[in-house]
């Protein structure tokens, strides 16, 4: 619908007055029309990156921000033609819904007819028809977020920026809005940068995800790459749950002896730790077991259950199993860990593309 541009950050860093370095020198390229999610714990620099892209903050000397071929580093936000959605909505309390959404259009001095037309379009897109004259304080959280969204897209920005827009909503509402936002982004085709600390949101919305830690990008890749081929221990641990099995010895035939049994992983010879996701471990009859251990805890999660299995290692193994089968405390359990579910950040896993690592 609107023309979108690519975004390029070159060597953008940001150190605040108190000495706090929020962002190490960063290079980032967002393709036109792509949705990039910045994911990470609080303090990792994701919001700072977003604000540098938006123009609310400037990168330290030497940093450059480009929209397409145009260098916008020196431009303040009001000149960058972006649309921004804030965590606490930032709706103007003294204006009605329609006035809020039309604010940017009035600033652009668009003719009345056009403003009306766009208002209609946009309110339909976010499912807020008929809400035009309502006051902001009469709206629910979900409705307010939709108004914020409508206001940002009404101006047909080149870039859409989201600063944890769903963080203030309850879980069910978040799920629903996440889907709606995803549809909207696909429909609009605008370049979007989305900041969140919620992994599910990141994986659902992002074409690519940049996992950030302590002012750096720990890994940049598609959701599948991030999840199945984490580039380092931080990403492996941050995204989903992960088990680390200590390799006691490596046998001559390539087998890896771990606490509780032995694993076969030809692509992981020489590593000291083997990683594995809980949902990839299968409970099997004793004959097929790679590893055996004792169930010390079972946590019922509705759909599945999480078993904590003591194999003699430092930490119990987390295993995700069907919730139908009951395991009593101290029951011995047999687990299978086939080669293709084992990984290590430094080793490429067989039969998948190599991962992309930037500024690791």
Among 3, 108, 183, 288, binds other proteins (CB under 8 A): 108
Residues in the interface with other proteins (CB under 8 A) total 30
- What's the min distance (Å) between Cβ of 42 and other proteins? 17
Nearer to other proteins, 70 or 353 (CB): 70
Nearer to other proteins, 172 or 324 (CB): 324
Among 23, 53, 84, 122, binds other proteins (CB under 8 A): 84
Among 75, 103, 279, 310, binds other proteins (CB under 8 A): 103
SS3 string of the chain?
A: CCCCCCEEEEEEEEECCCCCEEEEEEEEEECCCCEEEEECCCCCCHHHHHHHHHCCCCCCCCCEEEECCEECCCCCHHHCCEEEECCCCCCCCCCEHHHHHHHHHHHCCCCHHHHHHHHHHHHHHCCCCCCCCCEHHHCCHHHHHHHHHHHHHHCCCCEEEEECCCCCCCHHHHHHHHHHHHHHHHHHCCEEEEEECCHHHHHHHCCEEEEEECCEEEEEECHHHHHHCCCCHHHHHHCCCCEEEEEEEECCCCEEEECCEEEECHHHCCCCEEEECHHHCEECCHHHCCEEEEEEEEEECCCEEEEEEECCCCCCEEEEEECCCCCCCCCEEEEECCHHHEEECCECCCCCCCCCCCCC
- What's the min distance (Å) between Cβ of 338 and other proteins? 31
CA distances in angstroms from 76 to 56, 80, 323, listed in the order given: 7, 7, 54
Among 59, 63, 104, 261, binds other proteins (CB under 8 A): 104
Among 172, 329, 330, 351, binds other proteins (CB under 8 A): 329
Q: Is 90 in the site for other proteins (CB under 8 A)?
A: yes
Nearer to other proteins, 77 or 284 (CB): 77
CA distances in angstroms from 247 to 155, 169, 278, 307, listed in the order given: 57, 43, 18, 22
Q: Which stretch binds other proteins (CB under 8 A): 70-78, 111-119, 126-134, 258-266?
A: 70-78
Nearer to other proteins, 306 or 340 (CB): 306
Q: Is 56 in the site for other proteins (CB under 8 A)?
A: yes
Q: Is 86 in the site for other proteins (CB under 8 A)?
A: yes
Nearer to other proteins, 84 or 307 (CB): 84
Give the footprint of other proteins on residues 284-313 (CB under 8 A): 297, 300
Q: Is 266 in the site for other proteins (CB under 8 A)?
A: no
Q: Is 76 in the site for other proteins (CB under 8 A)?
A: yes
- What's the min distance (Å) between Cβ of 160 and other proteins? 11
Nearer to other proteins, 185 or 211 (CB): 185
Residues whose CB is less than 8 angstroms from the CB of residue 27 and which lie 6 or more positions away in sequence, other chains included: 9, 10, 11, 12, 358, 359
N residues, the chain: 360
Q: Is 16 in the site for other proteins (CB under 8 A)?
A: no
CA distances in angstroms from 11 to 51, 61, 194, 229, listed in the order given: 15, 9, 20, 26
Q: How many other C-beta atoms lie within 10 A of the C-beta of residue 356?
A: 14
Q: Is 2 in the site for other proteins (CB under 8 A)?
A: no
Among 3, 41, 74, 107, binds other proteins (CB under 8 A): 107
- What's the min distance (Å) between Cβ of 56 and other proteins? 6
Structure tokens at 360: 């690791």
Nearer to other proteins, 16 or 300 (CB): 300
Q: Which stretch binds other proteins (CB under 8 A): 7-15, 65-73, 149-157, 254-262?
A: 149-157
Nearer to other proteins, 167 or 339 (CB): 167
Q: Is 78 in the site for other proteins (CB under 8 A)?
A: yes
Residues near other proteins (CB under 8 A) are 54, 56, 76-79, 81-84, 86-88, 90-94, 103-104, 107-108, 148, 151-152, 155, 161, 297, 300, 329
């Amino acid at each position: 619908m609107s023309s979108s541009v690519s975004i390029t950050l070159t060597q953008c860093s940001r150190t605040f007055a108190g000495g706090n370095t929020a962002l190490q020198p960063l290079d980032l390229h967002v393709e036109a029309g792509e949705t990039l999610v910045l994911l990470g714990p609080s303090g990792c620099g994701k919001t700072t990156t977003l604000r540098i892209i938006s123009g609310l903050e400037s990168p330290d000397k030497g940093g450059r921000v480009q929209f397409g071929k145009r260098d916008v580093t020196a431009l303040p936000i009001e000149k960058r033609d972006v649309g921004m959605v804030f965590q606490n909505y930032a709706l103007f309390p003294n204006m009605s819904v329609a006035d809020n959404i039309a604010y940017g259009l009035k600033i652009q001095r668009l003719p009345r007819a056009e403003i009306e037309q766009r208002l209609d379009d946009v309110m339909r897109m976010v499912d807020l028809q008929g809400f035009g004259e309502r006051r902001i304080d009469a709206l629910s959280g979900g409705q307010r977020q939709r108004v914020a969204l409508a206001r940002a897209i009404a101006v047909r920005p080149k870039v859409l920026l989201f600063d944890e827009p769903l963080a203030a909503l309850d879980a069910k509402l978040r799920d629903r809005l996440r889907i709606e936002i995803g549809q909207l982004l696909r429909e609009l085709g605008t370049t979007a940068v989305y900041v969140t600390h919620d992994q599910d949101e990141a994986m659902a919305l992002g074409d690519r995800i940049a996992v950030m830690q302590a002012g750096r990008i720990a890994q940049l890749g598609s959701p599948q790459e991030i999840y199945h081929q984490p580039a380092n221990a931080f990403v492996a641990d941050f995204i989903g749950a992960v088990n680390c099995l200590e390799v006691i010895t490596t046998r001559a035939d390539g087998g890896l002896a771990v606490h509780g049994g032995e694993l076969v992983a030809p692509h992981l010879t020489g590593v000291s730790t083997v990683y594995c996701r809980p949902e990839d471990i299968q409970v099997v009859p004793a004959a097929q077991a790679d590893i055996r251990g004792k169930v010390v805890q079972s946590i019922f999660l509705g759909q599945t259950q999480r078993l904590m299995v003591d194999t003699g290692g430092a930490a119990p193994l987390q295993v995700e199993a069907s919730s139908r089968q009951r395991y009593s405390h101290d029951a011995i359990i047999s687990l299978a860990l086939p080669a293709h579910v084992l990984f290590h950040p430094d080793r490429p896993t067989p039969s998948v593309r190599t991962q992309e690592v930037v500024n690791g």
